[in-house]
Amino acid sequence: MGWAGPLCTRQLADLGAEVVKVEACQYPDWWRGVDPRPAFFAERQYEKDLRFGVLNRNKAGITLDLSRPEGAALLKRLVREADAVVENYAREVLPKLGLDYPALAAERPDLVMVSMPAFGGSGPWRDARAYGSTLEHASGLPSVSGQADWPPTTNQLAYGDPIGGLNAAAAVLTALLHRRETGEGQHIDLAQVECMFPLVAPWILAQSATGSPGPRRGNRHASMVPQGCFPCTGEGWIAISVADDAAWAGLCRAIGRADLDADPALATAGGRRAREAELDAAIAAWTAGRDADAAMAALQAAGVAAGAVRWPTGLVRDPQLVARGFWQPVERAWLGQHDQPSAPFREAGQGPFPVRRPAPLLGEDNAAVLGAARAPGQGAGGAGRRRHHRHGGGAGLAEEVPRRRAMTAPGRKQE
């Protein structure tokens, strides 16, 4: 998984942690691409993926071949100065390399380490591998998404990766606080699929309490009637949710349907549920001739929950995000100037945490980071060599080692 681990450590890097990203030339971060054709390397296409740039900003980057003794030894030297290690491998990889938690804790006994295999480090599925989208299916979410007559419906957003990464960041911070109080390190076993279960909690609870998860409703809601997403002019859409009977009256006024408001059969949610298709058609007829933002303003003024649906491509110009300085222009070699999204948290009354540096080029910080770690007289055999780029092509993220925030944070950490 090339998203979960890097997002975890990017959260920490945004907060000021010193993070060292460890890749291998043979198996670089998969967001760099896995194209084996010569032009891919000649044109440095592996440095031009914006997704890699967003997930790995504020980090240093080195290359190590962990399958070689020299590379493993260099990693261990780095761990001695690290607060934590975050690794995004399948469960069996680091033990095979002799770099599992006992081996690394021998270098630093109070080390915090997060391992985040798809299904955790124990149980019959411990060695199964997965992607964010397959984790979505394992969580049960597709079985409750979509319309009642649809097959299980994947959202195609690979939820498992970012949700796992955010949970891992919280776990690292909690473990570091625990160590500050007790002096104890720990190995955290994070199952990415289990991070998904809060998304399906309502259906799990319903099954437990009633013996049935209830019907699939698509865009509709169990108690807010009507609710849905309706077309507007151009390519616009608007989401509308009638939360109670007072909002229903407001909706009728806003769309000019006093006849619906006067109908006693529609005065309650149960009555409206029986005629939901008719009401959806009435709302769609009104929204179809209106701009999404204008319709949103009219409905909100009438006390109806409504929001224009935003296209991701339009968010760069969104006035709310612009006013908060959410987009930060960053210059990076081979990628040029581009806008980076800020961290979604900040100190109240302050601007966003800055993007201090762009994502590292492959092996960019080898000299600075590995120079201090290499033993006197030791060659560079463990560091990845650029002539190996031609053979790169797996989706293997090594570790990231977040290290201490300058002057204030308590130590170092690795990804």
**Closest by CA position to 413, among listed 175, 103, 183:** 175
Asked if residue 142 lies in contact with residue 152, where contact means CB atoms within 8 angstroms, the answer is: yes
Active site residue 259: no
Asked if residue 188 lies in contact with residue 113, where contact means CB atoms within 8 angstroms, the answer is: yes
Report the C-alpha dihedral over residues 238, 242, 246, 250, rounded to 10 degrees.
Answer: 20
Asked if residue 25 lies in contact with residue 391, where contact means CB atoms within 8 angstroms, the answer is: yes
- Indicate the pairing of strand 399-403 with strand 413-414: antiparallel
Identity at 248, one-letter amino acid code = W
Q: What's phi and psi for 88, nearest 5 deg?
A: -120, 30
Spell out the residues 6+ positions from residue 140 whose beta carbon is closer than 8 angstroms to its own: 200, 203, 204
- Adjacent-strand bridge partners of 186: 112
Check 29, 65, 161, 280 and give the catalytic one. 161
- Adjacent-strand bridge partners of 59: 19
As given in the structure block, the two tokens for residue 77 are 């030297």
Q: Which residues are catalytic?
A: 161
